[in-house]
A and B are shown apart, each in its own frame.
Chain A
Amino acid sequence: MSPNRPITPSTLSPKDLPWQIDWNKSKCTLCGQCTTVCPVKAIELGVFRKRKVKTPIGLMTPPENEYSIFYGIRQKTDPAFSCIGCGMCSMVCPNGAIMPRRNDEKDKLCFHKNAGGKPRTRGGRRNDNDSLLDRIKFIRISMLTDPALDAGRHEFDLRTLLGRVLPPEEGLKTFREQGWAPPVREIYPLIIGGMSFGALSPNMWEGLQMGVAYLNEEMGMPVRICTGEGGCPPRLLRSRFLKYVILQVASGYFGWDEIIHALPHMKEDPCAIEIKYGQGAKPGDGGLLMWHKVNKLIAAIRGVPAGVSLPSPPTHQTQYSIEESVAKMIQSMSMAWGFRVPVYPKISASSTSLAVLNNLTRNPYASGLAIDGEDGGTGAAYNVSMNHMGHPIASNIRDAYLNLARLGKQNEIPIFAGGGVGKNGNLAANAAALIMLGASGIQIGKYIMQAAAGCLGSESDRCNVCNIGVCPKGITSQDPRIYRRLDPEKVAERVVETYLSFDTELKKIIAPLGRSTSLPIGMSDALGINDKAAADRLSIKYVV
């Protein structure tokens, strides 16, 4: 290497990168598909020099060097362009000539992903494969008196309530006196959690909405989807499909104007209003839609200029305290829809979740609480927030439920759990575990991106470029050239398939427990775990 070759502290070799490109010269036809599709431009066409030693027969002529050049694929080593392992190149290569390979040692890139003094932001996941939920087992199989139920033949009623449920005496009194009772919706316990129109591509959004509509109208499953912050396309606000939608308002109030203005034109009430105070991906941090994704459409819906980053503050700055928020915001949102729509806050799981919950129990207008565990989130976040902040969901939900049980208010304020549900693919098992720990329902985000749209991200820092609008699958990009890769019809189909199979699996779990007419909320006697500390912490059985 020439001495004046620019080697800086951040000069890395391919070996230092988390992903290395295996490129097979003999298979490659140089069609250029991989370099075109690569979302981060990690590979480029390269010119290589080749030396061949020519040894002629006989002793007279000495061997010679013959030089030639050839073209091929070269991996960039600039940290800004490092391969993210998405594998799109291998998907488009007609000859199977290219494939990313994970580094066999800890990469050095992590020390350099802060060019310009900006810490790394990314979309996606917490990048930790460990999941306590996966370790919980269902240990109660009813074989005592009657044979267990048959998941395939018995009729099941897998629904949950969203909304404040009055205690029995009060409920009946209110009914008799024809008083105001808080609105309650009967919904499917698996909710597509808040992913904004802005975070997701229009095609992805449309696909999810279509899938949800199909599930409701054709399959009779009252599935609900939350918009996330950032508004809702005006057409949806004025359509009959709004009843399947939970509208989210967050501290940025993005898109909220549009919603308010659509109020007089709404044919249907939305399913509910979710007020976002916190999220699992970045507890204590606000929303973050980076400028890459703020195109004209998004700018119009959110009422902002195009091409600027849109961070929402972590706090609702118009409000003095969470107590005030609970009192004012929940009430004013309820009022906007004539007290016919459940309104509930969403917070990130933390050691103060209980305090928020306690506040809610005393507020007659609070309809529930969504708690998002540390694994939650799909949108952009600082690496450090995503990986190191927040509270896992299982123990947080458990504490919340047991706290309600102590007050005699379990299931009166339904708790919805999100964050890391199905992160290793075990969606039904994780959801059932959370329900039995006390959740009334489950919110999923990443799982549905993965299942319905083939998101490439994994829990080992693969892909994760959702934030910069270059999503290789077109799921989280606002660039039409990219998102047209995603067929909304196919997404809808996958949403339906995902829900139907979830439904079967959930039945397979709860039927042997002998449950069919009500969700086994809080049925912790069915749970076991092979970790004494976890068992004690969750008040479930310790099994080895």
Chain B
Amino acid sequence: MCRLFALTSQEPVSPMQAIKALDVMREGHDGSGVGLFLSGLSGPFEDLKDCPVLSGIFTTPGIRRLDQFMMDHDFMTKYKTSTRLSEDPPTGTPKRDVYLARAYEKPEAWKHLSPEKQEEEMVRIRLQLRRMGEANNDMTVFSFWPDTIMIKELGDPLAVGNYLQLDRKEFDARVVLAQGRQNTNYAINLYACHPFFIQGICTMTNGENTAFLPIREFLESSNILGYEGYQSDSEVFTHILHFTLKRLGLDIDAYKHIITPLKDRDLNNHPDGPFLKQLKETCRKLIIDGPNCIIGCLPDKSLFMVQDSKKLRPGVVGGRPGMYAFSSEVCGLDAVLPDRDVTKDIQPMHLDTVIVPPTRQEIRICRQTDPLHLQH
């Protein structure tokens, strides 16, 4: 099963920290790939908070097509990272022409658009690029969003991290999500690598989502921009969260009520019982069924973790004010935060959503049996 590690820190940290944690947990992943989500960027990106950052992998012709496309759409490059990679990629990693993280200034025409419209436009651009890439096999775009860099590559996480020189200052981030991949797909597909991202919402999972197919059918048929191209059975978790927050206007503590609703007898005793029953009923098609641990990041940079009741071994959350980490194994946590107070570690059980808010001062647990946080 994939190994997961996430960090949230007041001071920007190198993503290599998270990769180190993955390396400690290497028993649990086959080194067939790594996925990284970086947000709360520092360094050069810090001052470009409003600029959407494009991240992905390109071939040389691909980058030319990208430039043309972005120019046509009136985007101006504000900053880009460039890396001179050593000749030979590590074993298992294909040779690529360009890894890209480039911040753009938004087109003039967007000035008049509402923030929502702008968000929509960014998704549209990313989808267009994805389709272009799929047609010519020359670009793989992971994200196009302000303050966000995503990197996914095949190969052993540590080797890939070193090869891509991720310890450079420009990659330091306050939020890091990292996945060491246990490949269970037949063909290794970069897009199927966690974490998944849509409009500031990012999650990664380990486990198996046996309800994938009906959920995918539902999401695809809902006509929501971006709900397409599913390559992994857990990709839908991100979109369910997106649906919960953006479409239903609910808070993160409702997420668990959607994916793993309470039993009826618990709902009957719940202070928000009638609402939750309604939620369970109308969102029944979004119930995930299978052992899953989900770690994710919200648009406000909160980190959270939830699990299905079938998950036999829960993930663990620990740290100290200012820096918290989420890990699928305790040893990962030990590697990055050895000096934390381990007695304060939390292993969320099947009713819990563990949240570290953007202030990073505490771990908040919301139990499914508690009143809902946000009710309008």
Contacts and interface: CB of A to CB of B under 8 A. Distances in A.
A171 B263 CA distance: 19
B210 A166 contact: no
Nearest to B208: A145
Contacts of A181: 278
Given A172-B248, A514-B289, A410 B311 contact: no
Given A154-B310, A171-B281, A523 B264 contact: no
A169 B211 contact: no
Nearest to B313: A146
B275 interface: yes
A518 interface: yes
A216 interface: no
B260 A408 contact: no
25 contacts: A142-B210, A142-B290, A144-B184, A145-B1, A145-B184, A145-B206, A146-B290, A146-B311, A149-B310, A161-B284, A169-B247, A170-B282, A171-B279, A171-B283, A176-B376, A408-B223, A410-B221, A514-B208, A514-B210, A516-B289, A517-B261, A518-B211, A518-B287, A523-B214, A524-B213
A175 interface: yes
Interface residues of A, number: 42
B248 A169 contact: yes
Nearest to B285: A411
Contacts of B222: 408
A137 B78 CA distance: 57
Report, as a range, how many residues of chain B touch the other chain: 35 or more
Interface in A366-408: 405-408
A408 B311 contact: no
B200 interface: no
Contacts of B264: 186
Residue of A175, A513, A518 ringed by the most chain B CB atoms within 10 A: A518
B312 interface: yes
Given A176-B376, A525-B212, 9 more contacts: A144-B208, A145-B1, A146-B312, A165-B284, A172-B248, A408-B218, A514-B291, A515-B290, A525-B213
B264 to A, nearest CB: 7
A406 B220 CA distance: 9
Given A146-B208, A161-B284, A523-B211, A516 B376 contact: no
Contacts of B282: 165-168, 170-172
B289 A518 contact: yes
A528 interface: no
A228 interface: no
B287 to A, nearest CB: 4
A520 interface: yes
B243 interface: yes
A168 B258 CA distance: 10
Contacts of A170: 282
A522 interface: yes
Interface string B200-230: 0000001110111110011001110000000
Interface in A5-59: none
A522 B281 contact: no
Interface in B241-267: 243, 247-248, 250, 260-261, 263-264
Contact of A520 (B211, B309, B310): B211
Contact of A168 (B1, B283, B309): B283
Contacts of B274: 175
Residue of A170, A172, A520, A522 ringed by the most chain B CB atoms within 10 A: A172
Nearest to B278: A175
Nearest to A174: B278
A4 to B, nearest CB: 74
Given A167-B282, A523-B213, A146 B221 contact: no
Nearest to B289: A515
A516 B310 contact: yes
A411 B290 contact: no
B261 A410 contact: no
B187 to A, nearest CB: 16
Interface string B267-300: 0000000110011011111110111000000000
A184 B281 contact: yes
A170 B282 CA distance: 9
A515 B290 CA distance: 6
Given A161-B284, A172-B248, A146 B207 contact: yes
A514 B290 contact: yes
Nearest to A522: B214
Interface in A290-345: none
A193 to B, nearest CB: 23
Contact of B210 (A165, A175, A408, A523): A523
A165 B281 contact: yes
A157 interface: yes
Nearest to B243: A168
Contacts of B309: 517
Nearest to A438: B214
Residue of A144, A176, A520 ringed by the most chain B CB atoms within 10 A: A144
Contact of B208 (A142, A410, A516, A520): A142
Residue of A146, A411, A520 ringed by the most chain B CB atoms within 10 A: A146
Contact of A522 (B210, B213, B261): B213
A521 interface: yes
A275 B290 CA distance: 38
A518 B286 CA distance: 10
A472 B144 CA distance: 74
Contact of A406 (B206, B221, B248): B221
Contacts of B248: 168-169, 172
A146 B289 contact: no
Nearest to A157: B263
Contacts of B208: 142, 144-146, 514
B291 A145 contact: yes
B221 A411 contact: no
B207 A145 contact: yes
Contacts of A161: 281, 284
Given A146-B312, A165-B282, A175-B278, A515 B214 contact: no
A517 B275 CA distance: 19
Contacts of B250: 172
A410 B207 contact: no
Interface string B305-317: 0000111100000
The 3 A-B pairs at the shortest CB distance, nearest first, are namely A171-B282, A408-B221, A514-B210
Contacts of A184: 281
Nearest to B259: A517
A181 B287 CA distance: 21
B214 A521 contact: yes
Interface string A489-532: 00000000000000000000000011111101111110000000
A161 B218 CA distance: 17
Contacts of B279: 168, 171-172
A538 to B, nearest CB: 14
A407 B218 CA distance: 9
Contacts of A525: 212-213
Interface string A153-168: 0110100010001111
A140 B213 CA distance: 12
A154 B290 CA distance: 12
Contacts of A513: 210
Nearest to B210: A514
A393 to B, nearest CB: 20
Contacts of A514: 208, 210, 289-291, 310
B87 to A, nearest CB: 37
Contacts of A145: 1, 184, 206-208, 291
A525 B1 CA distance: 21
A146 B309 CA distance: 12
Nearest to A186: B264
Contacts of B310: 146, 149, 154, 514, 516
